[in-house]
Structure 1
Amino acid sequence: MSSLITGNQFEASFPEVIVEASHPNHATLQSFTIAIYEVGCLFGALSNLWVGDKLGRRRTIVLGGSIMMIGAILQTTAFSFAQLIFSRILTGYGNGLITSTVPTYHAELSPSAKRGRMIMMEGSLIVVGVTIAFFVNWSSAQWRVPIALQLVFEIIMVTCIGFLPESPRWLVKHGRNAEAMAVISAMEDKPPSDPEVRRTYYGIREAVAAETSSQGSLRELTTGGRSQNLRRTVIAVVCQMMQQLTGINLVTYYATILFQRLGLSDVNARITAAANGTEYFLASFIAYYAIDYVGRRQLMLIGTIGQCIVMLLLAILGYINNGPAQIVSVVLLFGFNTFFAIGWLGMAWLYCAELAGLRTRAPTNALSTASNWTFNFVVVMVVGPSFNNISWRTYIVFAALNAAIVPVVYFFFPETGGRSLE
């Protein structure tokens, strides 16, 4: 949307987003049009507090995908600003349900030894979507075509989820033990009598029995004691908040606009944004191969320190603001994506899914995902007006935020690698 919103065809349909000296408030409306999607995502993620454990992982994904399809159709057919905003909120609502479910679903189907790599692949696939968006925006297609393209992926997701198994942990929690054993057997590609299959199955059953209590799961989120549910939930919420406060969506959402600010023409800015997305995808494989060897904490620290240095350099070069400084700034924006791919891209989703106990996993991930979308909205909403008012000093703000993240991770985030979810 950040690339489409500055196109002539989009501006002709929605003059509310045209930024001119006579309409200074349109910069805020432009950011609002992009960021309102995250408000929908926030409410969708919070809805998972109540529907996630009732529906199960697969049906929640189907529900979210179906809502997204309706929202995508309404966005594609929008002829008024009000319809565009409503349909973006609705599409975001469906995406909130999905993003607060998929990491949990994925973690619950993965063996502990390979769980890091398997969920880090989610990060790589997120960037595939970003890259496809950049390349579609580079084309001459009218703005409705790129928005409609998401329907292809939503239809595939809703259709194909029926061929995938339900989470064995959710099945055991709801007393469907035979189905859970069958899923574990299939995922391990071993017969139900295999010792490894039975060990996994009984480990899940023991965890469910140990966590059984009369309290509702929402109330359990505030408990301490042996389970440390409150601590787990707070860390998960803070983790997702920090992922957004690194400033990644300053780069991702505003890539084309940032490159234009650095002196590139509209076409060259779109080409560079597409190249940036491609490099971002390739960089994500560093974390994929390193995650189960280096560990979660170390990669988060490496990524955050690198991001802090890049933001400081961008601020310095923004102050200098000559031709060579602009060229180096373009390169540094590629570097920022590389450090983020290493430390935070898939990490926040993996880490939060691993932290929570079985009984509180769905509500904890609902809250942490809501935190992600809340601060996603804040960053995307603030960045446009911020660049208009304080220009290159915006980078100093994010450099400071990255610097603040380092001690939080170092002192408060435990290592979760190599441990079973139970």
Structure 2
Amino acid sequence: MLSLRGKPLVYLVTVVSSTGFCLFGYDNGLMGQIISEENFLNLIGTPNSAVQGFVVSSYDIGCMIGALCAVMISEQIGRRRTILLACIIHLIGDAINASSFSLAQILVSRIILGVGLGLFTSASPVWLAETTTADMRAVMVAVQLTFLIIGTNIAYWVDYGLGFLDSDISWRVPFALQAVYPLVAFAFTLVLPESPRWLAAHGHMEAATTALSALRDLPEDHELVQAELNDISSVIQLENDSASWSSLFQQGPAKVRTRVIIACAAQSMQSYCGINFVEYYAPFILKNSVGLSDNLANLVSGCSQIWFLITSFFTWFLINRMGRRRLFYLGNMGMGGCMIAISVTLWYDSSASDIVTVVFIFLYLAFFTWGWMSNMWTYPAEILPLHVRGKALALSVFFLWANQFWTVEIAPTSIDNIGWRTYVIWAVLNFACCIIVYFFFPETSSLTLESVDFLFSSSTGIRDTVSKSEKIFRNKIHLDVGAAAAAAIDEQDIGGRLALNR
């Protein structure tokens, strides 16, 4: 175990989680250019657009399998061990992927890689959420999502630079570089503490106290450490469930079923925004929808990722100030408007409209990173109850990959067959997501994870929960450690009484 304590220790947990998301972003950017390279296409038999789509989306099949595996094992073996297992599986896939000589090997290796990433992305957000404080949590997740974009940037520019080589090196080296990320994550995870919430939920209170003391840089008998442990214990008693499979779908006083549905919906709706369509196929879209040359399409795609990275830094400052719900609104309305504009400019089809199309693609990426990117990975971990958090988040990640699979799979075919009308579909889906957020997504900004549990248990239904959470946020009430039960008080006096806990 490292001698680090307090915020530096939390930062290192963030680094490990960020490494996994950097790998996530790396694959997002990797295949967009490789799937268009002649050397690679010759290796896999120069397939049609449907097969090309499956080569790319096969990764998502593996991610779905990995997420389902996480549902079954993450709560039993813990967050750390799940991440370590994910790294090992990914490294096996890396070895097969970089040495492939047939379509079958490529598909098998990408599925294995996906299993590793599915496990990682199911466990790391929970681990991060359960080790940070309420005020740090969203910012740390925003940081890890910035690393996702850094990964995409690395992939784009590695692909672009090696794309000038007329040999297998142009795609084998980018495939091989994926192994760097799980190696780094594995090394750091070995020396980091397990989630104190997972330890407490499994009866390891002494280890939970030690871990929480290190994470908060306070003595084990300090009142704040004991208060947080009491909150965790109270929530465990409130939920009073064995976390069996059936517990994911039982309502109970903690409104478990409702919260699992919200988490799964949040992860699914990321795909309905159209980001996978744009991210995975940016060079393909610029060549086939906009009409740019191969080199120019790859260059513009790389520049779009630099822009994506720059805009992601604003999320660090927005996510706690604006709250989760308002950022969701901002993202969906902005992305929907951009998709409408793109469909119009592609329909008009002129040199000037092509330039405008590229501008709106850049704007679309900005609205996604502001509204959904960090929010999507923060929100499900916040909304879920402790006793099912590992399984339920893994299930929600399964829905992410399942929906990402079909959006990635249909992209080349939809562009070939319905052209500009494809973007109208994404616009409608974005506006529909905005409505769902308004009615069914409570605000969780500035609440401890335990406060969210008490908020749900004190409400009569989802609309009541949304209303109370909005009142807490509008009045700038911050529920700190030891004040979680305050979320359960009556809505009519919530302003006056919670003011005592600011």
| TM-score normalised by length of structure 1 | 0.96
Sequence identity (%):
34
Of 346, 357, 370, the match for 2:398:
370
> How far apart, in 1, do the equivalents of 2:210 and 2:306 lie?
39
> How far apart, in 1, do the equivalents of 2:60 and 2:398 lie?
9
Aligned to 2:38: 8
Are 2:43 and 2:101, in contact at CA under 8 Å, matched by a contact in 1?
Answer: yes
Aligned to 1:122: 144
Tell me, what secondary structure is at the counterpart of 2:193?
coil
Unaligned 5+ residue runs, structure 1? 18-25
Spell out the pairing of 1:310-325 with structure 2 (5 A cutoff).
Answer: 310-325=338-353
> How far apart, in 1, do the equivalents of 2:330 and 2:441 lie?
14
Spell out the pairing of 1:263-302 with structure 2 (5 A cutoff).
Answer: 263-302=291-330
Aligned to 1:234: 261
Q: CA deviation at 1:348?
A: 1.0
Are 2:338 and 2:363, in contact at CA under 8 Å, matched by a contact in 1?
Answer: yes
> How far apart, in 2, do the equivalents of 1:403 and 1:212 lie?
39
Alignment partner of 1:43 is 2:65: yes
> How far apart, in 1, do the equivalents of 2:37 and 2:97 lie?
16
Of 44, 56, 71, the match for 2:93:
71
Alignment partner of 1:360 is 2:388: yes
Spell out the pairing of 1:301-312 with structure 2 (5 A cutoff).
Answer: 301-312=329-340
Are 1:34 and 1:380, in contact at CA under 8 Å, matched by a contact in 2?
Answer: yes
Tell me, what secondary structure is at the counterpart of 1:142?
helix
Deviations along 1:363-413, one digit per CA (max 9) or x if unpaired, are 110111000000000100011100000011100110111111111001110
> How far apart, in 1, do the equivalents of 2:41 and 2:251 lie?
53
> How far apart, in 2, do the equivalents of 1:186 and 1:84 lie?
43
Are 1:114 and 1:292, in contact at CA under 8 Å, matched by a contact in 2?
Answer: no
Spell out the pairing of 1:19-418 with structure 2 (5 A cutoff).
Answer: 26-140=48-162, 141-213=169-241, 215-261=242-288, 262-418=290-446
Tell me, what secondary structure is at the counterpart of 2:386?
coil
Are 1:49 and 1:218, in contact at CA under 8 Å, matched by a contact in 2?
Answer: no
Deviations along 1:201-242, one digit per CA (max 9) or x if unpaired, are 2211222233233x5432111111311010000111111111
Aligned length: 413
> How far apart, in 2, do the equivalents of 1:421 and 1:132 lie?
34
> How far apart, in 1, do the equivalents of 2:272 and 2:250 lie?
28
Tell me, what secondary structure is at the counterpart of 2:417?
helix
Are 1:40 and 1:88, in contact at CA under 8 Å, matched by a contact in 2?
Answer: yes
| TM-score normalised by length of structure 2 | 0.81
Aligned to 2:465: none
> How far apart, in 1, do the equivalents of 2:374 and 2:243 lie?
30
Tell me, what secondary structure is at the counterpart of 1:239?
helix
Given residue 339 of structure 1, which amino acid in structure 2 is its aligned partner? Answer: F
> How far apart, in 2, do the equivalents of 1:264 and 1:381 lie?
22
> How far apart, in 2, do the equivalents of 1:216 and 1:62 lie?
23
Are 2:239 and 2:253, in contact at CA under 8 Å, matched by a contact in 1?
Answer: no
> How far apart, in 1, do the equivalents of 2:409 and 2:372 lie?
21
> How far apart, in 1, do the equivalents of 2:415 and 2:317 lie?
36
Query: Comparing both chains, which one has the higher relative contact order based on Cα–Cα distances under 8 Å and sequence gaps of 6 or more?
Result: 1
Tell me, what secondary structure is at the counterpart of 2:221?
coil
Are 2:159 and 2:170, in contact at CA under 8 Å, matched by a contact in 1?
Answer: no
When the two chains are superposed, the root-mean-square deviation of aligned CA atoms in Å is 1.1
Tell me, what secondary structure is at the counterpart of 1:295?
helix
Given residue 251 of structure 2, which amino acid in structure 1 is its aligned partner? Answer: G
Unaligned 5+ residue runs, structure 2? 1-30, 163-168, 451-502
Greater CA drift, 26-35 or 276-285 = 276-285
> How far apart, in 2, do the equivalents of 1:44 and 1:397 lie?
29
Q: CA deviation at 1:16?
A: 3.7
Tell me, what secondary structure is at the counterpart of 2:373?
coil
Q: CA deviation at 1:68?
A: 0.6
Are 2:332 and 2:431, in contact at CA under 8 Å, matched by a contact in 1?
Answer: yes
Q: CA deviation at 1:115?
A: 1.1
Greater CA drift, 135-144 or 58-67 = 135-144
Deviations along 1:177-204, one digit per CA (max 9) or x if unpaired, are 1111111111111211221111112211
Tell me, what secondary structure is at the counterpart of 1:227?
coil
Alignment partner of 1:420 is 2:448: yes
